[in-house]
Amino acid sequence: MEAACTLVSCTISETFIQSRKYVRRYKEKMPGKIKVLLSKLGLDVHSRGIITVAKGLSNAGMEVVYIGNALPKEIISSAIQEGVDVVGVSSLGGAHLTLGIPLIEEAKEKGFKDNVAFLMGGVFPPADTLRLKDIGFDGIFTPGTTSNEIVSSIHELVSIKAGRSNS
Amino acid sequence: MNKKEKTTKEILHEKSSGRKRVPLYNSEALTRIQRQFEQWMHSTVREKDRENWMKTPRTVLGSDIPRAMLYTPLSNPDFDYQEDLGNSGQKPFARGIHANMYRGREFTMRQLTGFGSPEDTNERIRFMLDHGATGLNILFDIPTIQMYDSDDPLSQGQVGMSGVCVDSVEDMGLIFKDIPLDEVTISIVTHYPSNTAILFPMFLVLAEERGIPWDKLRGSVQNDVTLEELIRSGPEYMPPKDCFRIQCDNIEFIRKNVPQWNFITLNGYNLREFGTSGVTEMAVAVANGIETIDEMVSRGHDVDTIADRLAFFWSPASDFFEEIARLRAVRRLWYKIMKHRFNAKNPRSMWMRCHVQTSGVSLIQQEPLNNIIRSAYHALAAVFGGVQSLHVDSYDEAYSVPTEEAALLSLRTQQIIQEETGITDVVDPLGGSFFVEALTDDIEKRILDEVDEIERGGGYVAAIESGKLHKKIATYFSNQQRDIEDGEIKVVAYNAYKSDAETPAINVFRYPEGVEKRQREKLERLRMNRNNEKVNKALAGLKEACTKRRNILPYSVECARARCTEGELFKVFKEAYGLWKPPALW
């Protein structure tokens, strides 16, 4: 399988791919593995958090596709193409609502919302955490969240979603 | 190897090896101290402390430099006052670039300002000036930093957030409405070389239209290749070589036409906040400085006409003495580099002048009021370190852009240091401390070693192209994250002394609404009312300058005059230079 070089075992130098969309395009999901698409929301310049999360998730055995900066439509179409279980976006520049709302709307429109977990990480006012949940984000992660917390929350969400789609 | 046959480290070693040193401590005294020290070590010091004599502090963004339990003259036995320290305002400038330091000129209180529309930002600027701010520091929104117009589909939902939006010279005029451009010093946080080449000309054209000669303007731009190529996250990147050339074009043009303006801020800050140690932060900025001066010299400029306007930008974080020692160390190192590698003649060229902003990454969401204390210590270290200008982060920045109340508190932190603590009355008050001097020496060596590594790899631009620095940073911040999660690096109220009590609610800043819509309307009017023939001609001129590798600044000034928008200029850059694919960071 082409996906033999999964991120789990890759060192940084091995993942040094000369493509901006350094996505390994697995059309098929590896059996038993949770597949996550990560993106920076919009033009946001702060990427340390999402890179840390990407590493944390792949260290935890997940398959991670990081597409860099993207807008809602692009994120959802990549997520559909990749057939992921989880979509995680990062926003530290204030656009968590103005781009977060269109993201969820786009997912719903494409019928992609119910079986996939949507996560948002970044810096936002406390009241917005509730807003983001109301909109339809399944998990909100603010600074201080550990990699383990994100990993276990993903496991939980994915099994809930899987239960829902089987029932 | 870089243009020089020898690395900077080799040159400095050669220069220092032949010099006669005059140690401060006489050998008789040292022998006696040594004897006493050994006795003390075995009679008075507990065994456990002897075994753990060296301890490495683990701190957020720290450099992991081991510390002894006690420092004595033996820590630095051949300490030569004149050679290693000197008086303030004298070589090697370890104690400060001015003889009288803050007695002569207080540090500039330069708080970052920028959010929403140009009108909103103008209001906040005037609030800060009314409360005693002595300089301005203008921050742009993300689309402006990334060089997209407010009506670009990619800007949707982000206009006016975490900075102020600027599309054309008209917006520049609104930001600085009723602000006397020739009376306040203005730092324009342009970030990248490419957007400096777009936004600073807009500022110049604004001055021109207000009848203010360019030689009356004082302030700085960031104009830093590090931010564009090493730290940035974005959809499109320019090739590092072209980016570096634009950085030097900006310098060349500003030096000639805006003589009091600081044309580059060699940026360590954003790199460190992204995730590096304090040592790497400084090594990278120094390496960029060296390569930049080399390039300017090869363009035919005299070292002294370039170096006296270089400024640095640092991030003081939590390891208090490391931060103080770092500032002293890099000031001495920069002096040596300018003196011995570049043979500068003017003392001003040998000054490491700097602005600092307290570390934002060190602030956390849990119990946010604790951040006030953190930032105050960062600021105190900066002042002990002898900085020229200061921004103190606000306690609510782990949530959003600061509220007016929090921004005022940051300004008050600076004013309390200056007016109430008395620490600005004495120059370099920690000079001569056995510990601080030993640490300063150690850090200077470490910075120089990392500069050497970059030079041996072919220089700074080559280090960016190869992805080596990207990797180094990614490794550092993942390790830091792991160590914080494991509790090895302690953060109060986060992984140490955690409280079950709910965090009290704080007021959080809300972005003004309707900014994007108003900007779109403004742009529509601008495109309708301007002379589009003139616009196209200006853009064509810029494109030709880019492809023919001429200095692009005169052409981008023409574009600003013609009311070209930022996005239109960026489009020209992309067409002329193509795009670079940065290395993946994980």
Contact A94 B274 (CB under 8 A): no
B-chain residues near A20 (CB < 8 A): 237, 581-582
> Containing H/E element for B285?
helix B278-298
In this complex, which of B153, B233, B583 lies closest to A40 when CB atoms are compared?
B233
Q: Give the residue-averaged pLDDT of A23-51.
A: 79
B-chain residues near A44 (CB < 8 A): 142, 158, 233
B-chain residues near A73 (CB < 8 A): none
Q: Which tokens belong to B358?
A: 């307290």
A-chain residues near B519 (CB < 8 A): none
Give the Cα separation of B314 and B272 in Å (integer).
Answer: 8
Whole-number average pLDDT of chain A: 82
Q: For chain B, which domains are there?
A: 81-485 (3.20.20.240), 519-577 (no CATH)
Per residue in A44-92, pLDDT (tens digit) is 988 899 999 999 999 999 999 999 999 999 999 999 999 999 999 999 9
**CA of B84 vs chain A CAs: smallest distance (Å):** 38
- The predicted pLDDT at position A31 comes to 65
> Containing H/E element for B246?
helix B240-257
Give the Cα separation of A10 and B159 in Å (integer).
Answer: 38
Contact B586 A17 (CB under 8 A): no
Residue of chain B minimizing CA distance to A95? B158
Residue of chain A minimizing CA distance to B163? A93
Residue of chain A minimizing CA distance to B471? A12
Q: Which tokens belong to B95?
A: 């104690």
Contact B142 A45 (CB under 8 A): yes
DSSP-based three-state secondary structure for A139: strand
Contact B585 A95 (CB under 8 A): no
Contact A102 B274 (CB under 8 A): no
Give the Cα separation of B131 and B133 in Å (integer).
Answer: 6
- The predicted pLDDT at position A19 comes to 34
DSSP state string for B401-455? SPPHHHHHHHHHHHHHHHHHS-TTSSSSTTTT-HHHHHHHHHHHHHHHHHHHHHH
A-chain residues near B481 (CB < 8 A): 52, 56, 147
- The predicted pLDDT at position A22 comes to 40
Give the dihedral sign, CA B186/B347/B272/B453.
positive
Residues 6 or more apart in contact with residue B495 via CB below 8 angstroms = B484, B485, B487
Contact B586 A12 (CB under 8 A): yes
pLDDT exceeds 60 at position A15 = no
* Type of residue found at B134: T
Question: Which of B233, B364, B473, B515 is best to mutate for the A interface (most A CBs within 10 A)?
Answer: B233
Contact A45 B146 (CB under 8 A): yes
**CA of A162 vs chain B CAs: smallest distance (Å):** 29
Give the Cα separation of A57 and A29 in Å (integer).
Answer: 16
Residue of chain B minimizing CA distance to A12? B586
Cα distances from B268 to residues A157, B143, B283, in angstroms, run 40, 23, 9
Question: Which of A51, A128, A152 is best to mutate for the B interface (most B CBs within 10 A)?
Answer: A51
CB B260 within 8 A of CB B311: no
ipTM for this model: 0.83
Using alpha carbons, select from B65, B66, B189, B183 the residue that is nearest to residue B121: B189
Write down the residue that tokens 């656009």 correspond to.
A95
Contact B398 A143 (CB under 8 A): yes
Residues 6 or more apart in contact with residue B336 via CB below 8 angstroms = B12, B15, B92
**CA of A46 vs chain B CAs: smallest distance (Å):** 6
B-chain residues near A95 (CB < 8 A): 142, 157-158, 161
Q: Please give, one letter per residue, the 3-state secondary structure of B311-364.
A: EEEECCCCCHHHHHHHHHHHHHHHHHHHHHHCCCCCHHHHCCCEEEECCCCCCC
A-chain residues near B234 (CB < 8 A): 43, 45, 69
Residue of chain B minimizing CA distance to A129? B399
Please give the order of strands across the beta sheet that includes B354-357. Answer: B108-109, B389-391, B354-357, B310-314, B264-267
B-chain residues near A68 (CB < 8 A): 233, 235
Weakly modelled stretches of chain B, pLDDT under 70: 1-4, 503-504, 586
